[in-house]
Amino acid sequence: MNTDETEPIKPRKYRTFRLAKGDLGILKAVHEYRFLQRDHVSLLTGRHPKRLHRRLFKLSHNRYLITTRFPGEKHIYAIGERGLQVLIGAGVAAVDARIRVRELKPLFLKHDMLIVDHHVLLDLTGNKANST
């Protein structure tokens, strides 16, 4: 059915990636907390974990997020090169911001994730208290 004048239809996995409306919220949350796991992002954005997992995969595959994972542990997401550029363009991140994920040691990341757990819980309880 394709003629020489029309472009062949690309398979789904090769189509171009575009940021969706809710992606900026994900990028802002990851930037604010520096590191987040999928459960944290789901709680902060209110998105369904399965759908969010697919979106996080696409964001990390397209370098908007960086993924770190230790054996037997959940993925840890940090802001990537393209994500940082989007946040700078939106005025959320400073122009001189840089990505420092590669410099980190596993012990520091585990410690930071404990802090993030508590920070997210405090923010969520604070938001619930303010809304009532």
pLDDT at 26: 95
Using only C-alpha atoms, what is the Rg of the chain? Answer: 17
Q: Sign of the CA dihedral 102, 107, 109, 112?
A: negative
Q: Which residues contact 101 (CB under 8 A, 6 or more apart)?
A: 66, 68, 78
Amino acid making up residue 42: S
Paired with 66 in beta bridges are: 78
pLDDT tens digits along 28-67:
999 999 899 999 999 999 999 999 999 999 999 999 999 9
pLDDT tens digits along 91-121:
988 888 777 776 677 788 888 888 998 999 9
pTM given for the model: 0.78
pLDDT at 93: 86
